[in-house]
Structure 1
Amino acid sequence: MSTIVVLFTRDLRLHDHPALHAAVTGAERVVPLFVLDPAVLGACARNRIAYLVEALAELRAGLRGRGGDLVVREGDTVAETTRIAAETGAAAVHVSGEVGASAAARELDLARALGGPGVRLRVFPGVTVVPPGALTPSGGDHYRVFTPYLRAWESAAWRAALPAPDRVAIPSTVAVGRLPGPSLAGTGTGTLSPDRTRGGEDSARDRVRAWTASALAGYEGVRDDLSGDRTSRLSGHLRFGCVSPLELALVARNLPGGTAFLRRLAWRDFHHQAAHARRWADDAGHRPRDTDRRTDEDGFAAWCSGRTGAPVVDAGMRQLLREGFMHNRARMITANYLTRLLSVPWRRGADHFHSLLVDGDLANNHGNWRWIAGTGDDTRSNRRFNLLRQARRFDPDGSYVRRYVPELRGISGPEVHTPPLPAPGGYPPPLLPEP
């Protein structure tokens, strides 16, 4: 009987899963596999590990409901996958293609390791709407400016979304292994946020249904509204592939308000295609401009803890600590404050974000930070926000600040953005005056 191993990585779902679909339709038996790799988990944020634990439990339940199971192993991903392929007599290993140097190296190592016993590695799309590398400009390996990429992305032929399998037949002899428990999150970096997003495909699909029905139509007008908090909150689910970005794009494309949301998905694909093109390059900024930067340890520590004395900045940083998530407009404001006003190199801020974000993804996180710092695929090197203007425009009544900075809840209206000195409740004075 023919057998195929499906190695799950950042695609923890059953719906629209090209690698799984091809295995189920092309072989009599399928081995869904996830490897808990200590080398990967040790550098992962606790918030992402906690999400992963929940997502794996939902994935196993979904597979069991279809007659299959999730096989879990602990160790080096390449070694464990090769071992499972040999034990089950698999003819192929399927995996969803990722971007970045570590993912590319893993694919190469896996292809070499499987080549000995004659097992073929097949790489499928599924992590983005349009596969990285599928769109290239004339005379270049990837798009460096978003607008022309968006035009190509919008006119590209998208594949059709695939249904979840009805049945998954797993070999009866394979030991499925134990799922990790919540304590696994203790091995990661950063702190565990009390209000983080729950992980799993069921949670992701519930969120898609609720948000597209209630908020998508007005998305363009409210996406930057800090106090309204009416963004999709799907970034963590997309990071772990608990929802298919293609399926999400196809749903949004046919609904009122979908055009503005599709642009956000296109930005995500834009950063992934840039990371794919540069996966063997040094991960430094494309246009290094940090030579004039200084190391302000006290300022950086105050920024990380949300105690800069700039209310909108502190609200964003405390939201990150509490939820493992930050509103996109707040991400831009806090990043601009760190790089332009505190003059701290962007990578330090990106690393702090990455240590906490449930949606932490190097392609997106570094791509967005480079955009703010003007060091990446961007045409502007001097982007600088007026902090007070940003606060008054995107949090006009101060609700966002009061939600996350309890010391300032006694100040009503927009005056919360310019608290008196000394500020109430032990709130710190500003590190820097408003420029």
Structure 2
Amino acid sequence: MLSIAPLLVLLTSYIMVGFAFGRYMLPLLAPDMIEDGVIGYDGLAAMTSVNQIGYLAFSFLGGFLARLVNPKLLIVGSVGLTGLFLCALGAVREPLVIGVLVGTLGALTATTWVPMVRLIQHAIDERLHGRALGIIGSGTAYGTAITGALVPVINRTFDWTMSWYVFGVVALVLTVVGLVVVPDVPRQEGQKQGSGRGRFSSFSRQALRVYAMMFLSGGGLTVFLTYFVPYVRSDLGISSELSGLAWSLLGLCGMASGVLVGQLADRTSVREGLIYGHFAMMLAIMTTLLWPSAITVVATACIFGLAYFGTFGMFPAYVSKMVAERDASSTYGIGNLCLGSGAALFNFVGGTIKAQTGSFELMFIVSCAIAIAIMALAMRIQSDRRDEPAMPDAPCGAESSIEGKVEDAV
């Protein structure tokens, strides 16, 4: 593990750049930008939507691009462009140009993250995929903690434009490091069709189960992350100080999530990591629903943080183990599109439920039910354990006799 530590640290920092800097820093700086008259609240809403659209579109397209373009070029190039566009956001004042930059940053985040599945297949031993992608997936937690701590200081010392410049330069420096550290993926290796283990194609029944899990996970569980603080403040009447502490603890625990869930996945299986991770998140949500208090809010934040960010990395880890290298990025790209679509849909549903009922409680009950559904689906997908025999998987529409064999396998 030590031999791949520099690569893991760098790839984790790339996720930090894409998600925390490229996608989630705008809401932090928006109040100052609005105060200066650069954008308005309607413009902010439109920019957030465009960023999400860019991310979803290139979650799908990025997977197929990784089959045509060296993943190193896609990943490192995307981080470099992210750095340039972050710096540009500090210089421009035209709302339309800002919107284009923000939308492109969403797309670049996807082309940074999705091709990593194929890169990990090439560069890291399969036995470490769970830990590796769990740690990398936790980059968002690290980045959120860093921006949350530094942006207010930078804004007080200079102004909001300097925050864009600082984090843009950080991304550019990491780009230069990546040119040296990130390995190339030979084109001929990208054409391999697997090693004879239990692998499945992008449109098999097994793949559809994974896509369904990702859609539900993105929807039912990301919505809890979105509305956790509003729920604690408005539904439970918890003070802003305690809710802020709970949110900070969620992020801090998220930093350890990748190691914890990834270690579990590598010792047992990624499939079991998915099951245990979603069980822990369901337990966290139920704790606050059944016994609402200041203590359970803090406990919920810690449990959810320890499970969420690492489990986020289990989906690409599973794909990296079970899909041939040529198809891995495109398969995960489709899954990531499902995950993002689920998040967008259920965030809207969660807000609507709050508006109609005056509470988030019903939405979080639905989240618990969704977690149970995900665990049930996880039990139906093929195991990625090395000591279990490989079994064939049938494409959609295959003969029932073949499907029967698949069902026996899972």
* Fold shared per TM-score above 0.5: no
Q: Which has the larger radius of gyration?
A: 1
TM-score range, shorter chain: under 0.3
Higher strand content, 1 or 2: 1
Q: Report which of the two has the higher share of helix.
A: 2
Q: Structure 1 length as normaliser, TM-score?
A: 0.27
